[in-house]
Amino acid sequence: MSDTNRAAPSRRTLANAIRALSMDAVQAANSGHPGAPMGMADIAEVLWRDHMKHNPGNPEWADRDRFVLSNGHGSMLLYSLLHLTGYPLPMDELRNFRQMGYKTAGHPEYEPEIGVETTTGPLGQGITNAVGMALAEKMLAAEFNTDAHTIVDHRTWVFLGDGCMMEGISHEACSLAGTLKLGKLIAFYDDNNISIDGEVGAWFADDTVKRFESYGWHVIPDVDGHDADAIAAAVDTATANTTQPTLICCKTVIGFGAPNKQGTASTHGAPLGDEEVAAAREELGWTAPPFEIPDDVASAWDRKADGAAAEADWRDRFDAYAATNPDKAADFERRMKGELPDDWATVADDAVAAVASEGASMPTRKASLVALNKLAGALPEMAGGSADLTGSNLTLHGGSKVVTDEDAGGNYIYFGVREFGMTAIGNGMRLHGGIIPYSGTFLVFSDYARNALRLAALMRIQNILVYTHDSIGLGEDGPTHQPVEHLASLRIMPNMRVWRPCDAVETIVSWRDAIERSDGPTSLVLSRQGLPHQSRDEQQVAAIGRGGYVLRQEDDALDLILIATGSEVALAMAAADRLAADGIGVRVVSMPCASVFDAQDEHYRESVLPSSVEKRIAIEAGVPDSWYRYVGPAGRVIGMTTFGESAPAGELFEHFGFSTDNVVNVARSVMS
Ligand SMILES: Cc1ncc(C[n+]2csc(CCOP(=O)(O)OP(=O)(O)O)c2C)c(N)n1
Ligand SMILES: [Mg+2]
């Protein structure tokens, strides 16, 4: 579909529109990164005008190609492209780049309604999200397409720079992408030899071609990133290969067109300055004033008509598919909208009730598998995996089918030992749509994934993390594997929901909440060791979903409240029995999810934790920091203030004060 025969304006002039908008917006904001947009403008022009399948009039069309600007500091490149091709991003937005209340943020922020597919800027995660998107596409294509009908068939395009290449996560993601043969993933490497500290040779001398070939990628080396014909030819070669992801290595000049600064790190992340902007206008032959696009340039960029036609063509094909496969078509539409099935509430109610009536004692990681087995059957969109700890995390349920390079029609991914990659791939799968991702590792390794968790929280997207081996209770593996600070550290992340259930019933309720929560990530923090079932009446079972509830009511007057989570709930219950026998009016509050509890109305919170009762003890085998706000100045926290030790779990709990005797003693001192 190359249109090199189109009359004036030339491709270079069209690309210069991106250059002008980018340098002018950065200048106006007195902040930003002109270098990458000016360097990649020629590549972007070829891709966005001729090769990418997209409809600016409907940015959320299910079968659009996905585009990810992994070098997100070049955000003006993306905003220019969205504006020029006709997305709902008016010039006023570009004029107000990086200003309060505008969508043109410093780095692209996930905004599907204007065509920003993911938040990028933290280098390496964009390419990893793109791997997740391409994987989602391949899985959905295998699931929904039929011999007669192809309704899922789109590519994922990525721009990435030296910074993404240097980040370790790009290894995790690109290695897996090659192994899984994600043939519709095509990345353009902005090989400009520059990062912030200068010419990269002194710190980045990899042979990137050999590196990606060793991953199983198709690599197109040495493309002149300023030669539209060469770029178009490379794209044609890339799209012809459907069995391997492709990396197109483009030699570019950072800040192309700024005569005195191009090719240097000074164009990377600072305004060019009025003088250099004027010189660049001269050099590029761009005569229009800032934020004005000549009509012929504007109309050559406009992709609205082509986009509408492309979507209409797909819509016809989808209607034909729906006529012969009505159930599948309805399911596809439901899943792409992110809605749960009609019968979901019934399935979930029944599953919770069944676990409650079974009353079985088990490790909560095992209870998590029980929950998956009861819930996942109703949710074909659930796709899980583990970072090489499937047998420990217990993430593979009875309905799991492993995704392989040859058969993507499954719902389980062996991610290998790649926690950060796995989590950012999960983000990409969710961003693609049609999939609810969950993935497992040990809680202690959540740190490896942390910035991907942060981006899920920032983007307000669902991603379910199964974190097992949640405390010193994992025992003999020792302090390297025993999380201590992780619960508190996950809880302080805005919009991250952390559940630490105490038994099988709380575990299935946690899973239900994570599945129903569509606006953010959830960490399910689960024990390796067995935990006893706690008996509850129906009202108490219903209250679990409120994040905190009274598990053991005081016998008479209320003197003391014990608050606990996870494995420490049973301990609190045992201590409460002894304290009650001494005549103390003691209540036990189980608090599996503090942030959900905090979101309850004041009346409810007060009914669980009456403010008049100041004698409170919180018990959790982690750092105490989360709990001071619940126990107040008169209260105490029994927690971990050091790292753990290598020993059997029982001895460790005893040693660190998680024993009935110690809780009772602390309680007596609080009471006295
Ligand atoms: C994870 C992460 N670390 C550091 C940064 C800060 N940073 C932004 S751009 C950049 C250099 C990127 O170099 P390259 O990708 O080659 O971009 P270019 O200068 O060529 O535009 C750095 C270190 C970041 N955005 N993300
Ligand atoms: Mg660079």
pLDDT tens, position by position, 240-258 = 999 999 999 999 999 999 9
Q: Has 419 been annotated as catalytic?
A: yes
Q: For residue 504, give Cα distances in angstroms to 349, 366, 398, 593, 618.
A: 15, 8, 18, 15, 22
Q: How many CA atoms lie within 13 A of 181 on its CB side?
A: 9
Instruction: Indicate whether 6 pLDDT > 90.
Output: no
Number of the ligand closest to the Cα of 267: 1
Beta bridge partners of 499: 524
Angle between helices 419-432 and 450-459 (to 10 degrees): 20
The CA 344 to ligand 2 mean position distance, Å, reads 48
Which amino acid, 169?
I
The CA 193 to ligand 2 mean position distance, Å, reads 5
Q: Please, which residues have CB within 8 angstroms of residue 299's CB and are 6 or more apart in sequence?
A: none
Share of the chain above pLDDT 90, in %: 99
* Cβ atoms 646, 638 nearer than 8 A: no
Tokens of 514: 């994570």
210 DSSP 8-state letter: H
194/187 Cα distance (integer angstroms): 18
Q: Which atom of ligand 1 is nearest to the CA of 190?
A: 20
Best of 38, 73, 75, 78 for a ligand 1 pocket test (most atoms within 8 Å of beta carbon)? 73
35 lines ligand 1 (CB under 6 A): yes
352/504 Cα distance (integer angstroms): 9
Q: What residue owns the CA closest to ligand 1's atom 19?
A: 195
pLDDT tens, position by position, 371-414 = 999 999 999 999 999 999 999 999 999 999 999 999 999 999 99
| From 276, 419, 568, 620, the catalytic residue | 419
196 lines ligand 1 (CB under 6 A): yes
What pLDDT band is residue 7 in, cutting at 50, 70 and 90? low
Mean pLDDT (the chain, rounded) = 97
The residue-averaged pLDDT of 587-610 equals: 98
Among candidates 180, 95, 617, which has minimal Cα distance to 404? 180
Tokens of 561: 């409240």
135 lines ligand 1 (CB under 6 A): no
pLDDT tens, position by position, 57-107 = 999 999 999 999 999 999 999 999 999 999 999 999 999 999 999 999 999
Q: Which atom of ligand 1 is nearest to the CA of 254?
A: 20
The CA 360 to ligand 1 mean position distance, Å, reads 51
481/477 Cα distance (integer angstroms): 6
Best of 75, 268, 451, 455 for a ligand 1 pocket test (most atoms within 8 Å of beta carbon)? 268
Instruction: Indicate whether 4 pLDDT > 60.
Output: no
* Cβ atoms 457, 494 nearer than 8 A: yes
626 lines ligand 1 (CB under 6 A): no
Q: Which atom of ligand 1 is nearest to the CA of 167?
A: 1
The CA 181 to ligand 1 mean position distance, Å, reads 28
Q: Which atom of ligand 1 is nearest to the CA of 36?
A: 21
1 lines ligand 1 (CB under 6 A): no
Beta bridge partners of 550: 589
404/617 Cα distance (integer angstroms): 50
The CA 194 to ligand 1 mean position distance, Å, reads 10
The CA 401 to ligand 2 mean position distance, Å, reads 40
Instruction: Tell me the three state secondary structure of residue 157.
Output: strand
Instruction: Indicate whether 319 pLDDT > 80.
Output: yes
The CA 198 to ligand 2 mean position distance, Å, reads 9
Q: How far is CA 275 from the centre of its chain?
A: 41
268 lines ligand 1 (CB under 6 A): yes
For position 387, what pLDDT does the model report? 98
Q: How many CA atoms lie within 13 A of 502 on its CB side?
A: 30
The residue-averaged pLDDT of 461-485 equals: 98
225 lines ligand 1 (CB under 6 A): no
Q: What residue owns the CA closest to ligand 1's atom 8?
A: 73
Instruction: Indicate whether 3 pLDDT > 90.
Output: no
Share of the chain above pLDDT 70, in %: 99
196 DSSP 8-state letter: T
128 lines ligand 1 (CB under 6 A): no
Instruction: Indicate whether 355 pLDDT > 50.
Output: yes
Q: For residue 229, give Cα distances in angstroms to 119, 225, 233, 553.
A: 31, 10, 6, 76
**Residue-wise DSSP of 544-598:** HTTS-EEEE--SSS--EEEEE-TTHHHHHHHHHHHHHHTT--EEEEE-S-HHHHH
172/417 Cα distance (integer angstroms): 8
348/371 Cα distance (integer angstroms): 10
122 lines ligand 1 (CB under 6 A): yes
> Would you mind telling me the total number of residues written for the chain in this entry?
672
Tokens 């791939």 locate to 425
503 lines ligand 1 (CB under 6 A): no
Most distant CA pair in the chain, distance? 93
For position 140, what pLDDT does the model report? 98
Edge to edge, what strands does the sheet with 156-161 contain? 66-69, 156-161, 185-191, 246-251, 218-224
Strands 616-619, 636-638: pairing is parallel
Q: For residue 209, give Cα distances in angstroms to 215, 229, 559.
A: 10, 21, 69
As a three-state string, the secondary structure of 590-647 is ECCCHHHHHCCCHHHHHHHCCCCCCCEEEECCCCHHHHHHHHCCCCEEECCCCCCCCC
401/380 Cα distance (integer angstroms): 11
636/629 Cα distance (integer angstroms): 11
The residue-averaged pLDDT of 551-557 equals: 96
Instruction: Tell me the three state secondary structure of residue 101.
Output: coil
For position 1, what pLDDT does the model report? 41
Number of the ligand closest to the Cα of 269: 1
The CA 21 to ligand 2 mean position distance, Å, reads 20
pLDDT tens, position by position, 286-299 = 999 999 999 999 99
156 lines ligand 1 (CB under 6 A): no
For position 8, what pLDDT does the model report? 85
What separation, in Å, do the N-terminal and C-terminal C-alpha atoms of the chain show? 83
Best of 196, 251, 256, 262 for a ligand 1 pocket test (most atoms within 8 Å of beta carbon)? 196
136 lines ligand 1 (CB under 6 A): no
158/426 Cα distance (integer angstroms): 17
